[in-house]
Amino acid sequence: MKITYLGHSALLVEGGGKSVIIDPFLTGNPNSGVKPADIKVDAVLLTHAHGDHFGDCIGIAQANDCPVIAPVELANYCMEHGVKTVGMNIGGSHQFDGFKVKYTLAFHSSSLTVGDRVIYGGEPAGILLTMGDKTLYHAGDTALFGDMKIIGELNKIDLAALPIGDFFTMGPEDAAIAAQWVQAPKVLPLHYNTFPAIEQDVDAFCAKLQEAGIEGIALKNRESVEI
Ligand code: NI
Ligand code: MN
């Protein structure tokens, strides 16, 4: 499984000839440096509806003629915009062609703002994405919560991608606890330094992980890690 960081919480994940993008916030992300038109994928996966995750989802799904896989209410919103969708919900998993998706809890909110309307985006979620014998846990936006221990007990997670930005999600201290609770040997920090409110010292976070015997992998935009 090859994981490429596209800034904020966006990951391109490739394996076994398939590729998916999670939370494709590219346009409007000051750090992305990637054009939606350059993204070639078999599916777009969303953790929740907020604009810094939903991002270029519709355009990428249209250009690739691929489905958007999302919490069901968010999938329904996407369907109204003319893309193929698969609406799932927390606790549910599905084996797609070449990859498996399981939706997990996340403690956050989920809505879209369209003009002066606020649209309910379904429950926010995390994603367990399995390709071959490797599993990535993308926590989405979330607070630290105790059931992360259960997620860690029930799944062999090879890499956990965790928000560390604080303010809207866990900060680095809680994320370091989450890393231990989900029993991940490697952690990729997400959701930091995109905006002033979520500036963090990622090197200090990785040093804290190292004390717990966990490898912190702070990828720069468009850098990849193979697990
Ligand atoms: Ni959010
Ligand atoms: Mn967010």
**Token pair for 152:** 């860690």
Residues 18-47 pLDDT 10s: 999 999 999 999 877 899 999 999 999 999
Element (H, E) at 173: helix 172-181
Neighbours of ion ligand 1 (CB under 5 A): 50, 141
Q: Give the rounded percent of residues in the chain with a pLDDT score beyond 90.
A: 97
Q: Give the rounded percent of residues in the chain with a pLDDT score beyond 70.
A: 100
At residue 18, the pLDDT reads 98
- Determine how β-strand 134-138 pairs with β-strand 99-105: unpaired
Cα of 47 vs centre of ligand 1, distance in Å, is: 9
Cα of 14 vs centre of ligand 2, distance in Å, is: 23
Spell out the domains of the chain, with CATH numbers in brackets.
2-217 (3.60.15.10)
Cα of 140 vs centre of ligand 1, distance in Å, is: 8
At residue 31, the pLDDT reads 76
For residue 218, the cross-strand partners are none
Cα of 89 vs centre of ligand 1, distance in Å, is: 17
Cα of 50 vs centre of ligand 2, distance in Å, is: 6
Cα of 160 vs centre of ligand 1, distance in Å, is: 18
Closest-lying ligand to the alpha carbon of 52? 2
Q: Which of 98, 14, 85 is nearest to 46 (CA)?
A: 85
Cα of 140 vs centre of ligand 2, distance in Å, is: 8
What are the distances in angstroms from CA 136 to CA 19, 150, 176, 188, 195? 13, 16, 17, 10, 25
Average pLDDT over residues 49-62: 98
- Determine how β-strand 224-226 pairs with β-strand 2-5: antiparallel
Cα of 65 vs centre of ligand 2, distance in Å, is: 26
Least confident of 32-36, 174-178, 188-192, 221-225: 32-36
Closest-lying ligand to the alpha carbon of 49? 1
Q: How many Å apart are CA 65 and CA 43, to the nearest integer?
A: 9
